[in-house]
Chain A
C-alpha cells in the first residue's frame, strides 16, 4: 500500500491525527499496488498528449522534448492511456517483467 515519507510512532502523531501542513498528499505515494504499468514506444509516439489529457491521476507531464513523462509513484495501472493512444504506442506490461 501507500508509502509515507516519514512514518511516525503514536506518540508523535498530531492531535487527532490531523493534517497540519497543506499539500501533504504529495508525500503519499499511491502507485505501488498496480499490477501493470504503461510503457510508451517513442518511435510510435506523435507527442499528441492524449495520455496526459486522459490520465485520471495526472501521472503524465509534458517535457521540453515534447514527449510525456510517466510518474510511477502515482500510476495505478488502469490502462486508459494505452486505450486512448491514437497510435497504439502505449503497451501495458505486467509489473516485474
Chain B
C-alpha cells in the first residue's frame, strides 16, 4: 500500500497528473492555481514526467493548445482559476464539441470585480453550461483521486468529453494534508493508455471542427447533451473500479447523518467539512439535521439527489456564488427545480455564503438550518438569503 505523505493539495493535483502519465500540459499560472503548474513544470524539467510542457501566453491559448493536443491523441492536462477560466470561456464549449477528453483542475476563486483572489464558486458556476463533466473535491485525497478518475472517465470511448475537477482555492489548494500518493505503476493498473477514437493524423486526414449548418447543428448539440447525461454511468462505474483498486469509495452524492433527518443542508466543496462539524453540534442539541454534498455537479445527479432527500421536510441549500438578477444561487435553483412536483411537503430554501473568501463558520451553518426551519413553519421565506451581508 502506498504511504500517506504530508503534501500541499496543489502539489497532489500535479502528482496525480504525473501519476496518470499525462503527455502534454499547457497552462498559464494564476493565483491560487499557480503551485499546480509550477510543480508540473518541475516534474517535467526534472524528468519525472515525460511530457510536453507548453508555457503559453494566456489561458485562452492554454485551453486552445489543450484542444489541439487532445485532438492529436495526447493525454492532456491543464489547470486554471477565476479570470483564467473566464478567459477560456469560448474554447470551453469547443472542447466537448470536438470530443477532446482534456482534464482540467480548477482552483475555485471569485471573479472580479472587485478584484478578489479568494475562494468562492463564481468562476465555475459561470461555466456551468459548457458541456464539461464537473466534479467537486472536499479534501486533498479526493483531489488526487478525482484527477485520476477524471482521465478514466474522459477517455472512455462512451464518453470522450472533457472534465473539470474543482477544488477550493486556498482553503483546499494551499493546505497541507496527509495524502496517499499513488505511483504511476499503481495508477497504470486502473488507467490504461489513452486510445483516441478520432485523431489528427496526416496519414488519414480528417477535418475537426467544421461549420455546422442548420441541418446538422441541432444533432451535434444533442450528441453532446446525450453523451454528457449518459456519462453518469461511466462516472459511477469508474468510481466503483477505483474502489476495487485502491479501497476508497466515491459516489455522485455524499450523505452525512441523513438518517431520520427532518432538515438537510446541501453543500459543495471543502466547506462541507465545516458543515459536518455543524451537523454534529446540532444533532447534540436535538436538531434532526443531515448533510448532502454534491461531488458530481455535471451531469446533475437527479436520481441520487431524490433518493438522498426522501422523507425530508426542509432543505437548506448553500451556494458560493450569486446568480445576478436570478432566483437564487445555481445549486439552490437546480435542487429546487429537480425536486419540483415531488410528493410530500418538501420546502427548499436558498442561502449564499462565503463570497470572495468570506469565512463560513459552523455557527453560520446552524443559522441557515434554523432559518430554514423557521421559514418552513411560516410556509414562506425570502427568495434567497446572503448570509452575513452588512446593510450599513
A22 touches B213 (CB 8 A): no
B97 touches A17 (CB 8 A): yes
Cα separation A22 to B100 with both chains bound (whole Å): 22
The listed residue (A2, A4, A9, A16) touching B97 by CB distance below 8 A is A16
Cα separation A4 to B100 with both chains bound (whole Å): 26
Considering the complex of A and B, which 7 residue pairs feature the smallest CB-CB distances, nearest first? A10-B219, A19-B207, A16-B99, A15-B198, A16-B98, A10-B223, A10-B222
Q: Which of A1-37 contact B (CB under 8 A)?
A: 1-4, 7-11, 13-20, 22, 28
A17's closest neighbor in chain B, by CB? B220
B219 touches A9 (CB 8 A): yes
A21's closest neighbor in chain B, by CB? B206
The listed residue (A2, A4, A16, A22) touching B198 by CB distance below 8 A is A16
A23: shortest Cβ distance to chain B, in Å?
11
B99 touches A13 (CB 8 A): no
List residues of chain A with CB within 8 A of the CB of B210. 17-19
Chain B interface size band reads 20 to 34
A8 touches B219 (CB 8 A): yes
Inter-chain CB contacts under 8 Å: number: 56
List residues of chain A with CB within 8 A of the CB of B206. 18-20
Cα separation A54 to B206 with both chains bound (whole Å): 32
User: How many residues on A have C-beta within 8 angstroms of the other chain's C-beta atoms?
Assistant: 19
B157's closest neighbor in chain A, by CB? A15
List residues of chain B with CB within 8 A of the CB of A3. 215
B247 within 8 A of A: no
List residues of chain B with CB within 8 A of the CB of A10. 219-220, 222-223, 226
B193: shortest Cβ distance to chain A, in Å?
18
B213 touches A2 (CB 8 A): yes
Q: List 9 A-B contacts (CB under 8 A).
A: A1-B214, A7-B216, A8-B219, A10-B222, A10-B226, A15-B160, A15-B198, A17-B210, A19-B210
List residues of chain A with CB within 8 A of the CB of B226. 10
Q: Mark B91-109, 1 if CB is under 8 A from A, else 0.
A: 0000001111000000000
List residues of chain A with CB within 8 A of the CB of B208. 16, 18
B198 touches A14 (CB 8 A): yes
B220 touches A2 (CB 8 A): no
The listed residue (B99, B205, B213, B222) touching A1 by CB distance below 8 A is B213
B55 within 8 A of A: no
Q: Which of B55-107 contact A (CB under 8 A)?
A: 97-100
